[in-house]
Structures are given as structure tokens and as C-alpha cells.
Amino acid sequence: MSNQFRLWAMSCAHVGSDIREGRESLADAIRHSERDFEWDIAVNLGDFSGTRTTLEDSEGLEIVRQFSALTKHKREDIYTLAGNHDATHYYEEPTQWWFRKWIDPTGESSEYSKVDQIT
């Protein structure tokens, strides 16, 4: 066992816009990192979404699907932060509903996000 702590940092998957071009940006990054890099935990610094308009559940579903590419780690091994594309508009209630529902950093929406369910 190594005494090294290995952190993988990533951001800007822009899943919703990339999938329209045939790219699985989040899933591909996961596949490559797990194959080529023995990381302990990861941080995702946001911009899961590729939209510049109101966030939609369909993009959240695609993000959850792409997270299922994890084979060596659990989804909870990736600490997530919201990027500017992931933020809900200031007038939307509850605040940050989309990020909390689909990315779910606190594990409160596992029926949607599959946090604690993907192995």
C-alpha cells in the first residue's frame, strides 16, 4: 500500500452539450482515469451541465448514466462543487435544486442521483 495520497481533479464536462456531438465527456474521463491513474479521491470543480439556459432533468439523467462508468470507485469518491453552468437562476426555488437533485453532493436525493447506489 502506498503512503501517497492521489487526487484527481477535473471540471467542465459540459455533458448536455457534448452528448449532442456524440461525446460522453464525463464517462470518457472516468474510463481513462480509472484505467491510467490510481487515484484515491477526485474533485470535480463543476460545470457538469453544458447549458446556458434553464437546467433540465434530461441532462441530469445523462450525467447519472455517465457516472455509471465508474468501475473501481464509488460515486462518493468524487467530491463535487457546482460550476457556473450548474447553478440555477436567482429566481428559482429551491435554490440550486438541479445540482442538489442530480449531482447530490450530500446524498439527499439518491433516488435521482444514484449516490450510494452506483458501485
pTM metric for this prediction: 0.88
* 7-113 CATH, one of 3.40.50.720, 2.40.50.140, 3.40.50.1000, 3.60.21.40: 3.60.21.40
Q: Does residue 87 carry a pLDDT above 90?
A: no
Q: Does residue 64 carry a pLDDT above 60?
A: yes
Distance CA 81, CA 84 (A): 10
Q: Which of 93, 102, 26 is nearest to 110 (CA)?
A: 102
Only one residue has cell 487515484, namely: 39
pLDDT in tens, 11-59: 999 999 999 999 999 999 999 999 999 999 999 999 999 887 778 999 9
Distance CA 99, CA 15 (A): 13
Which residues lie closer than 8 Å to 21 by C-beta, 6 or more apart? none
Contact indicator for 92, 56 with CB cutoff of 8 Å: no
Which pLDDT score is estimated for 63? 96
Which pLDDT score is estimated for 40? 96
Percent of residues, the chain, with pLDDT higher than 90: 74
Which pLDDT score is estimated for 118? 52
Which of the residue ranges 54-58, 67-71, 76-80, 102-106 would you say has the lowest mean pLDDT? Answer: 54-58
